[in-house]
Structure formats: structure tokens, C-alpha cells
Structure 1
């Protein structure tokens, strides 16, 4: 067996011959693989984990109110940049192209809503908050075409690409593209932890700093709750916090999400992958670890420059095994949230659940397209008529997995303001104006087409055939 040093040496010469990527990308990749081979796994000593205090994870309702005067608000906003992580494809929902162009509500896409929100801020306060989109090589070309439609808006939109790294062949640790796989399958984007070096390498970071920008608000483009919050921005500027992660109380749906801990005097992110097997159940409990990472992050741009230039952001490596044409490959990734422990005065803020509204599947799309929400100025706002603070749990069968199939099976999205849970499986079709309340299960038998008629109300019922309606 080759030693780690021999593997790395062979990899370096193979990577040197890849013309598709820049020197920065080659160096970043070699550095990541070198760390992985050296086995510097970050094992957490369970006994040293402490629950963060309110100084470390600040309760949202203790933040000072936002300054009233519009000139003060303008001063705040002029220090801000909004960055959306736009590298993901909508493949899990059966879409081609960037996920951010899936229509969410009233014919508007994720990207439309983001642009409307920032436009409104800029118009209201006369500020200049730019929007940055970090694409991957998968989404770059499509996004370039899509942003053209916003060219007359009062918002500067910049796009840049995150790094492109070669997939590693597990058998001999050589890059897949050097073996003839030079198409897209040979490459991968190395996770959103790459946002920091990519900001610097693209030249965007220096350009923003020269415009007097101080903070970047980073969020997933599919999180409809991730809107600019002046109270948070004001708090960070007043307290000189270099990094802030928004966390929110865990429910049983979020037990796998990363959480913040105090560890050896610093705040850090604890992910399920770092948890020793014997403590996984404890990690998932909502008693000990009450909060989880929303991936809404606020980061000081000067600090990003300082740390990236010093090569100090050594985030935990997430190995992600894949298979390409029967070849076992490995992609090494990092997460932006894991960078928290390298910044000074880093904090979490425990925000309301409304700031976490991701659309990962069609079941989430059902929630945001229903009467549970309304749309105002590009913001998705929850219906006050719903008394339960938690959203209903929704489980849709494979027939609903793709967006096109999902939309085809509903004449209109049912009313779910009083719904607790919904399970749908099989060949089920919904008429218009259907009302669902309480616990509802609609499961059609194999080979049976089940049509829910227009205007029917289903309350606390299990339906297996037309006779149950």
C-alpha cells in the first residue's frame, strides 16, 4: 500500500496536468486532500462539551431595537452584502438547472423573491445592498442567462463561481479527470465552506471592501425565511462580532441538524458526523441540544480576508462517497458553518423559526404554496389564523416527488391552516378547494386511482378508496 505521502505526491503531479482549473483551485484541492490523508479528524471529547450561555448564543428578543431614523438605517445597510448559495441543482425535485429558479408562489421563483426583497430595501432607504450569487460550474451558465432579466432593477447583482475540484478515485487516490473522465462527472463543487476562499479568489472580496462593505449575510437560496434583519446587523456592528450563526429551536424534524456548543473556550459547530456512535441518541435529543444551525450566517468581510490569506480556515472535512460509471469516487467537502471557531467574538443568535423556511422537497413546496402563507413585498409571511406555532408534517409519496408531477396532481393547493399531519401515497389526485384538517391520511391501493372531489373537507380521516370519501 502506498503511504499518505506517496499518494499525495502522485496526486500533485496528476493535478498539475489538469488544464480545466486554476492554480488557486489546484492548491486548495491539494491542501484539502493533504489534510484528509494526514488523518486530522476533529474528534470531539464528549466530556468537554458545554452548553453555550446567552452571551454566546444570544436570544433574539434581547437584541436592541433597530435605529429609527432612515439615515441610520441607510448607514447600516450600506455596510451589507447579501450572498445566496446558488450552486445546487433542483435534481431531487425533478428539475433541471439551478434550484433557485423553481417557481415558489404566484409565478415567482426563489430568485425573483430575493431580488424583490432587496429592491424594496434599496428603494425604501436609498441604500445600495448588492446581491451576490455563488454558483457552481453546474449552475453558472444558466444563472448568467437568468440574471439578465433583472438588469433594469435598482440592485447590483454579481455572480462568481465556487471552486471546481476533481473527484478522487478511491482505489488509487488519483483524480478522475486524469483518467479520461473530463466531462462534468469528473468534477464536484467542494461544499459551501468554499465560499470564503472563492470570495477572495474571484476578486469580489476586495471589490466589496473598497466600496466600504463590512458584513456579508450568507444563506441558502432555497431558505425563504432568510431575509435581511436589521436588528442582527446592528447588533454585530455594535459588538464587533466577526461571525454570527442563526440558530433556532430544534423540533423532532431537525434532529440531524448541526448544533452550537462551547468547547475549550470557543464556540463551535457540532455535526452529527463528528458525534461518537455511543452519543448519537443524545445528540438527536431535543433536551440537551436544543438548537440547530439554519445556515443563515453573518460574517465580517475584513475577517474573511485576514483568515483566508493566512490559510487559517481549516474546517472539518466531510468525505462524501459517490459512484461514477461503476467507479467508486470520493469528494471532500467543507461547510461554512464550521468556520465559526476561527473568528473572533463569534456568536450564535437564537432566532424565531420563521427565519428557517427551506424548500428541500415538494412537501415543503406544498406548505409555502398553501394558505398557510401569504406573499407581501417578496416576503413569505405566515398566516396568523394558524394557532399551532409548528407547521403540519407532510409526507408525500414518490408520485409527488417531481415538481411537475406534484403540480399536476393538485387542481389547487388544499387549505391546510388547521392541518396537523398529512400522508399521501399512491395514485392520488386533488380537486380544487379541498380543505384538510387534523390528521389526514390518503393512501390509495396499488392500481387504484383515487380522486379527491372539488370542495371536499377531510377532517381527521384515513382514506384508502373512493368509498371512504
Structure 2
């Protein structure tokens, strides 16, 4: 176990927790050890400490500008060689509950009747077909999504993509007052457990046996991304750069906007590149951390990691249980400052409105931005609670409005959209309480505030 310094009261808490955890039959020895280590680090405060005065802005050697990467090799046999070293891993542990769906979030329909998972498979199918490569897809499920995903992937049996699934760890929830695991107190259902953060991806990949299988097939790099990030496509320029420069770890970062102020960022710290998360920031510096003046980039959660390095570090227990695996443990770790188009997560129905609209089209499983939009930033969209669930969101639009010229949209109350509506500039539609407000078919609303039918 990791050596951490604890007060005697905390040491007693940990000792009791350890005894109770050992008795849990539902999880493996690896999971028990990982859980106890995580709690020990939490109690010691070790995970929190970062000395603000030591933080430095990373140079272009550490956070490489995307435009400075060498172009992709033109010879298709060279591209095949690159791709044959690659594995794509999507984090598939999340449920669609925030958007009112049951089951894995990756099976929500995004566009043209295709789900997140359909699009991911189509993208890799196209790569494998075009270059004769064999890029496999790994899905890291949680205990929440495992059973459903196993059934869902059966529909890709005839695909040219090998699909592997494995489960991330299952940790018991803690009861704060007596610091004991919930499952040891008779709470045996799913509510007594939680899947830990992304830092768990590498130990779980190893413990599942998948890592050794991939290494035996000659695979060298894994591209890890959230399954709901539609911008997280395989990028040959990045893969080529990492192989040429022997970088064991790469985190994609992108310029921060005011919408991303809580996202982690890369810093230079004691001569090494390191991830700085908001939880590690001393209270008096939080507003500085959130400003886009000092910290200009944030973590997209797209990672590229060398598989042999993962094996070396997991075996040495060096990664500990970071919420997101920290680059400081890897040799020649870098960030790459990528275009914003590589970060297109769908976290809420407001994001779904963007990707289902004429702001994007679908080509070969990729969501491509409409060239007709002049503003490089997407419109900001706020939808009221009436639109929170996917089913009610879809029910309130006869068709998704045209938003190529939209700057911002705010909708609240009992609002229903007809077909062929166009929104431009700044539009606010706030229905008064008790009023059903219907936007007629074909309406064009430009820079308007609407509170009732009389404003239309």
C-alpha cells in the first residue's frame, strides 16, 4: 500500500475500513487494494497539495501546437503501419440518466438515427477498410453499463472492427458518519457502489488481461476518449508525432473559453508536465485558476498513451489512483494544443440541439461543422427543465431549427417549435407561467425576446 502519513484518528478509521472492505465478497483483491489506497490518499490530503508559486506556464516543447506537427505520411502502407500500432478505447461507463435515458449513454441517438456507439464503429470501420488496417475498439464499461453493452455490441458482429469490452473497478460507497462501506451495512444493490474516475482505466485494462493481449498483437498506443465526445476522432498526425518522438503520454488540450473554466489544465511543475485540477487549487487561487488569462488551455480528456508504459507503471503501482492519470509518471509526456473541433461533448440536450442542427453534417461517421457559419464559436444554448429529457426535448421540436446564424438562445417554460424555424442573433423565448407558446412553422426569429404569442 502507498505510504501516507495519517493522524491516529484517521489511522483508526482506515484500519476499520480495511477490515470491513476485506470482508466484501463482491469485489476482487485488486479492487479492495485500489479502494483502500484511494481513501488513504484522501485522508492524508496528499492528492491536494500543489505549491502555487512553483506553477509555470508550459513551453511549446511541452504543449506542442497542433499546426507544428509533421503532416501525415502520404504512402498508404505507412499509414497502415501506423494504424496497426493503435487501439481505440472509449470510456463507456456512464448512464444517460442526466438526459432522462435508461442504459448506457452511448446508445442515445445523436443524428440520422445513429447512436454515439454507431458513429464510433463507423469511423473505425472506414479507417480499417481504407487502409487495410486492424484497429480494434475497446469499451470500458462500468457495472452499470456492462450487461446492456454486451447485448448492444452483438449488432456489430459482421463489422471489420474487433470489439473488446472490459469493466472498470467497482468501489463501495462510504458512509460519512462512521466511515464504513455501505455494502457492509446490508446495502447490497447497485446504489451501494460507484465506478471510480478515469485514473482507473489503466489498472482495469491490465487486470482484465486485455493489455497483455494487445501487446502480444504488436499494439503500441491506445487513444482514450469519452464515448460522448463527438470530436474525438483518430488523428494520424498525433499518432505519427508520438511514435517519432517516443512520447509515452499525450493529453489533448484546447484553448479555454468561459464555458470551460472548471476544466483541468497542463502546467510545468518542478520541471515536469503535470495536470492541475480545480480540486488541487488552494481556495484563494480558484478565481485565478478559472480565469482565461493565466490558464489559457484545458484538458479535453482525449489521451494517447504507450501500452508498454502502462504495463510498467501499473506493475510498479506508480499511477496511484489519480482521478485522471497524471502525465508526470510517463517519459516524455506532452500536451498537444488541438483545434476546438476535437472537443464536442454531448452532456445535455442543449448540446444535442447543436449536433442535430444544420450547424453540422455527417460524413463517414464524423460530425463535420458547416462552413457557412462565420463565427468560429458555437452558439450558447440554454434550455429550461422542460427540455432536460431527450424524449421531451424531441417532442417539443417538429424539426430542429436552423441555427447557422445564431449567437445565443434561451428557452424556458411551455414552448413548442414548429417545423422549419430559423433562429438568428440573440433569441430569448421565455413563456409566461400558464401559457403554452407555439412557434409557428417557418418562423424566422432574429434578435428577439418573446414572452407570449403577442410578441411573435
Same fold per superposition (TM over 0.5)? yes
Q: Distance in 1 between matches of 2:47 and 2:352?
A: 37
Of 51, 54, 66, 2:57 maps to: 51
In the alignment, structure 1 segments of 5+ residues that lack a partner are 317-333
Contact 2:48 2:279 in 1 (8 A): no
Correspondence for 1:75: 81
> Does 121-130 or 22-31 show the bigger shift?
22-31
Residues 60-459 of structure 1 correspond to what in structure 2 (within 5 A)? Answer: 60-316=66-322, 334-336=323-325, 339-459=326-446
Q: Distance in 2 between matches of 1:294 and 1:341?
A: 18
Shift of 1:295: 0.2
Q: Distance in 2 between matches of 1:161 and 1:41?
A: 25
> Does 281-290 or 392-401 show the bigger shift?
281-290
List per-residue Cα deviations over 1:219-271 (Å, max 9, x = no partner): 00000000000000000000000000000001111111111110000111111
List per-residue Cα deviations over 1:372-398 (Å, max 9, x = no partner): 000000000000000000000000000
Shift of 1:314: 2.7
Q: Distance in 2 between matches of 1:314 and 1:197?
A: 9
Q: Distance in 2 between matches of 1:65 and 1:352?
A: 15
Shift of 1:315: 4.7
In the alignment, structure 2 segments of 5+ residues that lack a partner are 1-6
Q: Distance in 1 between matches of 2:149 and 2:8?
A: 42
Shift of 1:279: 1.3
Correspondence for 1:330: none
Contact 2:37 2:320 in 1 (8 A): no
Q: Distance in 2 between matches of 1:423 and 1:12?
A: 50
Shift of 1:341: 1.3
> Does 20-29 or 395-404 show the bigger shift?
20-29
Q: Distance in 2 between matches of 1:463 and 1:401?
A: 21
Shift of 1:14: 1.1
Q: Distance in 2 between matches of 1:3 and 1:285?
A: 38
Correspondence for 2:3: none
Matched residue SS, 1:3? helix
Q: TM-score, normalization: structure 2?
A: 0.97
Q: Distance in 2 between matches of 1:186 and 1:19?
A: 14
Matched residue SS, 1:228? coil
Are positions 1:20 and 2:26 aligned together? yes
Shift of 1:134: 0.2
Contact 2:253 2:298 in 1 (8 A): yes
Q: Distance in 2 between matches of 1:278 and 1:30?
A: 30
List per-residue Cα deviations over 1:422-462 (Å, max 9, x = no partner): 00000000000000000000010001000000001000000
Q: Distance in 2 between matches of 1:388 and 1:431?
A: 26
Contact 2:252 2:303 in 1 (8 A): yes
Matched residue SS, 2:46? coil
Correspondence for 1:40: 46
Matched residue SS, 2:263? coil
Task: Let me know the Cα RMSD of the aligned residues.
Answer: 1.0
Q: Distance in 1 between matches of 2:327 and 2:375?
A: 33
Are positions 1:466 and 2:443 aligned together? no
Correspondence for 1:324: none
Matched residue SS, 1:445? coil
Shift of 1:172: 1.4
Shift of 1:42: 3.2
Are positions 1:8 and 2:14 aligned together? yes
Q: Distance in 1 between matches of 2:227 and 2:281?
A: 28
The structure-2 alpha-carbon separation of the partners of 1:2 and 1:173, relative to structure 1 and needing over 3 Å to count, comes to farther
Count of aligned pairs: 450
Q: TM-score, normalization: structure 1?
A: 0.95
